[in-house]
Amino acid sequence: MFKKDVSPKPVTKNMFPKPPGYGCDHHLSPEQTIRVYERLMRKYEKNEEEVKMDNQDFIDKCKDLVVGYANERLDKTDGEKISEDDVFVVWSCKTLQNSKALLSTTLSDGMYYELTLNGDKGEIYLDAYKKWENIKYDV
C-alpha cells in the first residue's frame, strides 16, 4: 500500500487572496512606518489612561462636569453657584470599558444629567434634561 502524503504544503501568497478593495502590495517607507508607529503608540497610551478610570473616578468626573455645566447656565444676577457637594448620583452602571450615570443637583430647576463614558474613544458625553411633569398612573 502507498502511504498518503500528509506533509504540510508550503504557504504561498496566492493561498490567501485579498478581499476586493484591499489596497496595494507596496511596503511603507521608513517615514510612513514611524508615523504609523507613533499613531499606534498614542492610541495605546490613551487606552492605558482609559483603563485607569475606575467607577469612582468616572463619578467624580461626572460631578465636576455637571457643576461646570450648571454654573455656566445659572443666572449671574442671583450670585448662586453649586459645588460637587450639591450634585448627587441617581443611578450608575459600568459595562466593560463603558459607564453611564444619571445625576441631579439640589437646585430646584428640574434638571437631570445623563453622562456616558465611551471607553473605546476616551470620551464622556453629557446630556441635560428638564423634567416637565411627573404624572401618576394606576396600574
What is the domain partition of the chain in residue ranges? Answer: 29-73+82-132
**Other Cβ atoms within 10 Å of 67 Cβ, number:** 19
pLDDT tier at 5, thresholds 50, 70, 90: low
Top-confidence residue, 48 or 80: 80
- Sheet containing strand 111-118, strands side by side: 87-95, 98-105, 111-118, 123-130
Answer for the pair 118, 99: CB distance below 8 angstroms, yes or no.
no
Residue with cell 465611551: 118
Q: What is the mean pLDDT of residues 44-59?
A: 72
Whole-number pLDDT of residue 4: 63
Does pLDDT of 50 surpass 60? no
Top-confidence residue, 48 or 119: 119
Top-confidence residue, 92 or 9: 92
Residue with cell 459595562: 95
Top-confidence residue, 23 or 98: 98
pLDDT tier at 136, thresholds 50, 70, 90: very high
